[in-house]
């Protein structure tokens, strides 16, 4: 008995020490979803951070009465570090036949232990979830703020709208925008309970000077709010163009002839919107074997995007993805990621399983033969 207690205490201390060495934090401890429609939709974005310089693997899970209502985006294992926090979207989809009332549950952020043969998840953060179900539709949108970034001659005008759908049904907000006597109408779609900083980019070819943007917002043709926002148009190359390649994300392992997706995360931290494109190459043993690039994407100030590209490996071995993001007339620093490529392993039926039937039949025939011989004697 004493020996078992000592072994248990030793294992517990190892696990406690391993978990204590890594802190993974969420930006909220409780989320309340009020007035969610039965059969409807609700969402909330959670920001997750870590104090670890190295990448750690986590996976979210749900428990409680709402367990089957919860979906996560992305839903796979997630890697994060001190330099790479992540955003996790929590989606609630209650069934059509659920009764009105209050339902609760918990979202767990589990740390994955990849060093064992079987992955073991240890919950290191948790969020209390409450969902109030109703059968009454609610339409309500809040326009929190509107801003227009200074821009340059013959460049896009970016209008930033801090907007939130407080209702439980999808909303399509109409924005009527007037600048320098030219009016245009734009639509901002919002899912139930969605909050975002929407960007409306206008191509108006404005000359240098001071302008006002007059913006009116309508929901189902009902007035919400209006704004007059001043901004300046400067001569070309007056504003700083500066972007940052955050990281290149790939699968860690792949098979020959299996497409490998490459997601390049880029952030515009300058003073002017830019068009960005990822260009890179695939290396084996430091020798480039293939060149790749993404589509060009417009990135407003302060926004992050994922530039998508990929390749299909034809040989096994360690493949290195090396590249940078080109924007305006410059480029970011170079970054890299690696993918281990192996040959496709055919599914092998265990020998014991494949021979069980024939061996049993042979054994049965042998025994039957012996029994018959004895009876004939």
Give the fold, CATH level 3, of 141-234.
Answer: Immunoglobulin-like (2.60.40)
The dihedrals phi and psi of 5, each to the nearest 5 degrees, come to: -65, -40
- The upper half-sphere exposure of residue 210, i.e. CA atoms within 13 Å in the direction of its Cβ, equals 1
Domain spans, the chain: 21-134, 141-234, 243-342
pLDDT tens profile 80-117: 888 888 899 999 999 999 999 999 999 999 887 654 43
CATH number of 243-342: 2.60.40.10
209: left (phi over 0), alpha (psi -120 to 50) or beta: left
Query: Distances in Å between the alpha carbon of 277 and those of 79, 202, 296, 325?
Result: 24, 21, 5, 5
Whether 243-342 and 21-134 are alike in CATH topology: the answer is yes
When pLDDT is averaged across residues 227-247 and rounded to a whole number, the result is 95
For residues 88 and 46, give the distance between their C-alpha atoms in angstroms, rounded to a whole number: 5
When pLDDT is averaged across residues 323-351 and rounded to a whole number, the result is 82
- Whether 46 shows a pLDDT value over 70: the answer reads yes
Q: Sorting pLDDT into bands at 50, 70 and 90, what band is 377? A: low
For residues 242 and 295, give the distance between their C-alpha atoms in angstroms, rounded to a whole number: 19
Statement: the pTM of the whole predicted model exceeds 0.95: no
Strand residues in 51-99 grouped as ranges (E): 56-64, 70-73, 78-80, 86-92
Helix (H) or strand (E) holding 353: helix 351-376
When pLDDT is averaged across residues 224-233 and rounded to a whole number, the result is 97
Task: Measure the CA angle with vertex 190, ends 186 and 194; round to 5°.
Answer: 140
| Helix, strand, coil abundance in the chain, percent, nearest 5 | 15, 55, 30
When pLDDT is averaged across residues 122-129 and rounded to a whole number, the result is 85
Give the residue from 183, 177, 180 showing the smallest Cα distance to 160: 177
Give the residue from 177, 195, 178, 194 showing the smallest Cα distance to 186: 177
Domain 21-134 maps to which CATH number in 2.40.10.120, 3.40.50.10950, 2.60.40.10, 3.40.605.10?
Answer: 2.60.40.10
The dihedrals phi and psi of 73, each to the nearest 5 degrees, come to: -130, 115
- Whether 159 shows a pLDDT value over 60: the answer reads yes
Per the CB < 8 A criterion, the answer to whether 312 and 296 are in contact is no
């Amino acid at each position: 008995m004493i020996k078992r207690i000592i072994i248990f205490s030793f294992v517990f201390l190892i696990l406690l020490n391993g978990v204590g060495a890594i802190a993974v934090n969420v930006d909220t401890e409780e989320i309340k979803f009020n007035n969610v429609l039965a059969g409807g939709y609700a969402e909330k974005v959670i920001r997750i951070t870590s104090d670890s310089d190295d990448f750690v693997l986590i996976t979210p899970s749900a428990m409680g009465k709402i367990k089957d209502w919860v979906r996560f985006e992305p839903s796979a294992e997630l890697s994060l570090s001190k330099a790479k926090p992540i955003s996790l979207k929590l989606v609630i989809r209650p069934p059509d036949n659920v009764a009105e009332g209050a339902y609760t549950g918990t979202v767990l952020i589990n740390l994955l232990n990849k060093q064992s043969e079987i992955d073991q998840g240890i919950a290191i953060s948790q969020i209390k979830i409450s969902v109030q179900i109703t059968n009454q539709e609610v339409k309500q949108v809040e326009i929190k703020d509107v801003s227009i970034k200074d821009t340059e001659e013959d460049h896009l005008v970016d209008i930033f709208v801090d907007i939130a759908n407080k209702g439980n049904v999808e909303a399509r907000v109409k924005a009527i925008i007037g600048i320098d006597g030219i009016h245009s109408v734009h639509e901002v779609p919002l899912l139930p309970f969605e909050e975002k900083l929407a960007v409306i980019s206008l191509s108006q070819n404005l000359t240098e000077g001071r302008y006002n943007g007059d913006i009116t917002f309508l929901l189902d043709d009902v007035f919400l709010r209006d704004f007059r926002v001043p901004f300046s148009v400067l001569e070309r190359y007056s504003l700083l163009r500066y972007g940052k390649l955050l990281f290149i994300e790939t699968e860690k392992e792949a098979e020959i002839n299996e497409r490998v997706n490459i997601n390049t995360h880029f952030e515009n931290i300058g003073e002017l919107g830019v068009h960005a494109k990822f260009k890179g190459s695939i290396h084996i043993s430091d020798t480039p074997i293939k060149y790749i690039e993404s589509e060009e994407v417009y990135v407003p100030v302060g926004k992050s995007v994922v530039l998508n590209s990929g390749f299909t490996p034809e040989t096994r071995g360690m493949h290195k993805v090396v590249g940078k993001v080109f924007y305006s007339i410059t480029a970011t620093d170079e970054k890299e990621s690696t993918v281990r490529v192996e040959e496709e392993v055919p599914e092998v039926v265990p020998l014991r399983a494949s021979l069980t039937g024939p061996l049993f039949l042979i054994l049965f025939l042998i025994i039957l033969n012996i029994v018959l011989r004895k009876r004939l004697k």
